[in-house]
Chain A
Amino acid sequence: MADDNKDFEPILVGFFCNWCTSTAADLAGTTRLQYPPNIRPIRTMCSGSVDPIYILRALLSGADGIIIGGCNPGDCHYVSGNYKARRRIAGLKTILDTLGLENDRVWLKWISAAEGQKFAVTMRDFTEKIKELGPSPFRKNWSV
């Protein structure tokens, strides 16, 4: 398994809130921080606007991991969007467990606009973690 994973390049999707994590991604790029190219960043207005359906759809379409990035607790631009995201992701993780999918494939992280470094490190850790977990079992039912 470990050998298989060496060449495995996971497909990762990121939903990043406009106010914090997207800006951090921008900062990471501007400061030329390096991180693996596996992540497909999608800018959303708020982590609270990420419907769990988007995540499930992405997983069912063959994504190996999903990461949602929002503002730190208390710092949400829309006051409470990140708390809503937190509740939704907690609920979603129980569904993933039921489906028999490792719930570690979905990450929710708070990365503020000033934390370009943290963004790059998180992307690196996330890619590594998913490489460790291997390809999503949903991929088998899916002809890539």
Chain B
Amino acid sequence: MARIGVFLCYCNLRAAGALNKDDVTAAVSSLSDVVHASAAEDLCLDPTCAHLQQQITADNLDGVVITTCSAATHEENLRRVLASQGLQSHQVEIVDLEDYFSWPRFETAEETTARVIEALDNAVAKIRGAQALPGVTTRITKRALVIGGGIAGIQTSLDIADAGYEVLLVEKTSSIGGHMLQYAEVFPTLDCPQCIGTPKMVEVGQHPNITIMAYSEIESVSGSVGDFTVKIRKKATYVDWDKCNGCGICQQKCLTPVASEYNQQLPFNQAKAISIPFAQAVPNKPVINREVCGHFTTGLCQVCSQICPLQAIDYDQQDTILEEKVGAIVVTAGFDLMPKKEISEFYDDPDIVHGLEFERVLCPSGPTAGVVRRPSDGKEPKEVVFVSCIGSRDPEHGVSYCSRVCCMYLAKQALLYRHVVHDGQAYVFYMDQRTTGKGYEEFVQRAVEEYGVMYLRGRVSKIFRDGDTLRVQGADTLTGQKVDIACDMVVLGMAMMPSEGAKDLARKLGIATNEYGFIAEAHPKLRPLETSVAGIYVAGTAQGPRDIPDSVAMGSGAASSVLELFSQDEVVTDTLAAAGNEG
């Protein structure tokens, strides 16, 4: 015979909800096996839940039903207190009262009260019939997998590796570094990302606890927290990286030029069919682009294999699949910019570039060596129009969220442009200035006051070519006037989107994403680094648009979550099994 206690947690918030607590306790008291039913005030406020503990002892309870607000936030704490009272998990039932019953219906008090009584009746019945099941114990493999070698992934890997655990860093391109390395200079301090990023990349490359698996992708994931089995596809590079020393003769001598992906396919310089993406790449090893390589397309060319002093070229290389065991996974898969073609309203023109393309133009180590030139004819643009919120905050054409960094990077680009082109004029069209970071607002003021960047509040309606120039038409909503600017170049602050393949990756991992493909966190405020699967964490822009400092902070945070897991030797998973009992 069970002795069940029912506790209706109650607080002032409940006054807003629809529930008659006295009706509930009265109805529940009459259920069989219920020996105690009361409304307990603010259970969450007292860490010891003294009231609960006293009642459990006083009535010698062997089953407890508690109503809470979101069970997601309170269930664990309550179960911990009850476990200390000797109640096992099958003897405890939590009813998510606020979020399931009370808040959604504060106009229908009577029905809601009836519904809650039913739910409590069900919970009591469940406890009455429940039996103990042993938990499942898993030994933790103290080895982490980090997916994505951008700045967030780099920080996560370093923090875990520095704590003494092995890290496998999987990156889909041939070098770690991510988007940060492509930028000209980074706001608000204007450091050079190549200068501050590359030492970290080198540290990752040298770290005895980190294995970089570049040019590799996740094939499949199985297992659970502490014991994941991951299959990783090491894509064929057609270069034996063990032999190659990164001398780069192959890319000098290669006969097939191609547009450089790293430089956003800008026309200023070209990469080769066999290439290392950029000078500071880690690992500094080339990859053959099979689509364009003379050997693969015509079968005639063998220049790289003949010139390589180490005979590292291997045209017959195949993809290989490796199986690795890890205990925790951190997803730092990053972002991509929304493709320009998604916004068809704008004239398709080589001189209309997106933010990342202009970063490469401004970058001192970029294809123009920091000289600002426009793609169509290589001339120095004397007037540049920057347009923010392209795709962002625009559910009609793009996405409804704010990409968070565009206000800042457009201000930075306008400032850098003016820094290089002294007689140039920069215009920025904006909807709102969202510069919420340390020193960010001051930075924008500096762009306006010191560098004379002209800010126009309003949206652009049309951009089209007019002879040698581009015409930008829009409105200045502060003066209420139409604006028509003839300029040489237009830079679009395109929306940040989850990186290509992020959705697929999330599926392989079995973790939830939001409607756009950004990885969903376990709790939007209190568990921002955990995903819906225990043992899988998220950091950086894979979770949502954010800037470099936030990505780095998140990377460190995710690493500390992994370390917390690794500080234990085993995890016990609670079990729940249902069986039908007819009658």
Contacts and interface: CB of A to CB of B under 8 A. Distances in A.
Interface in A71-128: 71, 74-79, 112-115, 120
A36 interface: yes
Contact of B532 (A42, A78, A113): A113
Contact of A74 (B102, B105, B507, B532): B507
23 contacts: A19-B532, A26-B70, A26-B71, A26-B72, A28-B99, A29-B70, A29-B102, A34-B106, A34-B107, A35-B105, A36-B105, A37-B104, A37-B105, A37-B112, A38-B111, A43-B96, A44-B578, A51-B580, A53-B580, A74-B507, A75-B513, A113-B520, A114-B512
Contacts of B98: 29
Nearest to B503: A74
A26 B115 contact: no
B149 to A, nearest CB: 26
A79 B510 contact: yes
Nearest to B98: A29
Nearest to B97: A29
Nearest to A53: B580
Contacts of B115: 37, 40
Contacts of A9: 111
B55 interface: no
A8 to B, nearest CB: 13
A29 B578 contact: no
Nearest to A73: B507
Interface residues of A, number: 39
Nearest to B533: A77
Contacts of A49: 578
Which 3 pairs, one residue from A and one from B, show the smallest C-beta to C-beta distance? Answer: A29-B99, A37-B111, A29-B103
A6 interface: no
B236 to A, nearest CB: 28
Interface residues of B, number: 34
Contacts of A19: 512, 532
A47 interface: no
A41 B510 CA distance: 24
Contacts of A54: 580
A112 B100 contact: no
A33 B520 contact: no
Contacts of A71: 512
Nearest to A31: B103
Contacts of B576: 45
B400 interface: no
B79 to A, nearest CB: 15
Which among B72, B122, B506 has the highest number of chain A CB atoms within 10 Å? B72
A140 interface: no
A40 B70 contact: no
B578 A40 contact: no
Interface in A120-141: 120
Nearest to A44: B578
A25 B99 CA distance: 7
Interface string A4-42: 000001000000000110010111111011111110111
A114 B186 CA distance: 33
Contacts of B122: 42
Interface in B479-514: 506-507, 510, 512-514
A41 B512 CA distance: 21
Contacts of B281: none
B111 A75 contact: no
Contacts of B515: 112, 114-115
Nearest to A41: B100
A74 B513 CA distance: 11
Contacts of A37: 101, 104-105, 108, 111-112, 115
Given A26-B72, A40-B115, A34 B105 contact: yes
B118 interface: yes
A84 B299 CA distance: 49
A29 B100 contact: yes
Given A37-B105, A40-B118, A113-B532, A75 B100 contact: no
B321 to A, nearest CB: 19
Interface string B564-579: 0000000000001010
Given A29-B70, A37-B108, A54-B580, 16 more contacts: A25-B100, A28-B104, A29-B99, A30-B99, A34-B104, A34-B105, A35-B104, A36-B108, A43-B96, A44-B578, A49-B578, A77-B510, A79-B510, A112-B514, A114-B512, A114-B514
Contact of B103 (A32, A45, A114): A32
B255 interface: no
Contact of B512 (A38, A45, A75, A78): A75
Nearest to B119: A40
Contacts of A28: 99, 104
A23 B100 CA distance: 10
Which among B103, B105, B515, B532 has the highest number of chain A CB atoms within 10 Å? B532
Which among B104, B119, B576 has the highest number of chain A CB atoms within 10 Å? B104
Nearest to A118: B515
Contacts of B103: 29-30, 32
A23 B104 CA distance: 14
Interface string A46-71: 00010101100000000000000001
Contacts of A75: 506-507, 510, 512-513
